[in-house]
Amino acid sequence: MSKARVLADLVAEGGELADGAISVSEVTGAAPTADPTFTGTLTAPTLNASTGLQIGGTDITASAAELNNVAGINTNVQAQLDTKKEEFTPVVVTANTTAVADRRYFLNAATITLTLPASPSAGDTVSLSEMGGNADNIIGRNGSNIQSLAEDMTIDTAYASFQLQYVDATVGWAIAH
């Protein structure tokens, strides 16, 4: 008799496994246990030539190399990625401009005033690069402190490059690097 036929007989109505459970008495050579009843649900991965590997009915399309790249990660990767800031959007400035948080401003003229955002939130960042060789551009504070001072900032060094990050109402905008 084939193995498939034996299995079919076991699970058929009236067979030993028809009720979906295996009792200790039905297992030969097994050591007795204190609680032989399994009450959980077991869903094993399935491999089917037409669908490939599935877990819970969902096709797994990642390659072995891709799965190995995430070996050992035990947190939600997407949630971590969602918290990361995107690369700053570059903006070339040749006249007075009001800045928007999370932008990179390239000042390319003399006597430009770049006014900081009016209602910043902690963590907002403005990146600045004086690329025109000028030493007379102004960063307007727009009501918030800059480095704990209630005054505008003068960029008096040609080709200076740095970031300002909003900390709180007391510090205001601080040089980040």
pLDDT at 28 over 60: no
| Domain limits, CATH 2.60.120.640, in the chain | 89-175
Q: Categorise residue 74: left if φ over 0, alpha if ψ from -120 to 50, beta otherwise.
A: alpha
- What pLDDT sits at residue 124? 94
Distances in whole angstroms, Cα of residue 25 to Cα of each of 6, 13, 15, 37? 19, 19, 14, 12
Do 142 and 118 contact (CB within 8 A), yes or no?
Answer: yes
Q: Could you say which of 2.60.120.40, 3.40.190.10, 3.40.50.300, 2.60.120.640 is the CATH number of the domain covering 89-175?
A: 2.60.120.640
Percentage with pLDDT > 90 across the chain: 48
Residues 6+ apart with CB under 8 A from 150: 141
Do 174 and 164 contact (CB within 8 A), yes or no?
Answer: yes
Q: Dump pLDDT digits (tens) for 37-79.
A: 667 776 666 666 666 677 777 777 777 777 777 767 777 777 7
pLDDT at 165 over 70: yes
- What pLDDT sits at residue 35? 58
